[in-house]
Structure formats: C-alpha cells, structure tokens
Amino acid sequence: MKKNMGTLDKIVRILAALVIAGLYFANVISGTIAIVLLVVAGIFILTSFISFCPLYFPFGISTRKKED
C-alpha cells in the first residue's frame, strides 16, 4: 500500500471530521444523516492516519509531493 495523501489533504480531512463530530455532539445534526456523516468522519480519520485513500488509487491520484 503506497502512500498517496499529502499533508494538506490529511489536515483538511481531520478538520472536516472534527467539524462533523462537533456538529453531532452539539446536536446540530441527528438521525440518519448524523450516522452517515459520522461514518464518513471515521473514514476521513482512518485514511488520514494511514496516508492512503483507496478512492485515489484506481485513478492514480496522489496529493503527496514527488520524491526525488
């Protein structure tokens, strides 16, 4: 599994997950949409920590800087 996520990509995903969690715990979102968004937030956190996005792989997308 080759890393394909850059630093900015990881930061944006973590911030988005934190915002979703904040909205959930502030009772701004609830019900089915809250569950779906929390799952997405969990996926964002997981992919950020492993620096690999499975959706980028088939398209050959990489947000990492090129290694010399």
29 vs 12: CA distance, rounded Å: 20
46 vs 5: CA distance, rounded Å: 12
pLDDT at 65: 87
Where are the domains positioned within the chain? 7-51
Neighbour tally for 64: CB within 10 Å: 13
Task: Judge contact between 45 and 14, C-beta under 8 A.
Answer: yes
pLDDT at 53: 93
Per-residue pLDDT of the chain (68 residues; tens, 9 = 90+): 889 999 999 999 999 999 999 999 999 999 999 999 999 999 999 999 999 999 998 999 999 987 64
56 vs 24: CA distance, rounded Å: 28
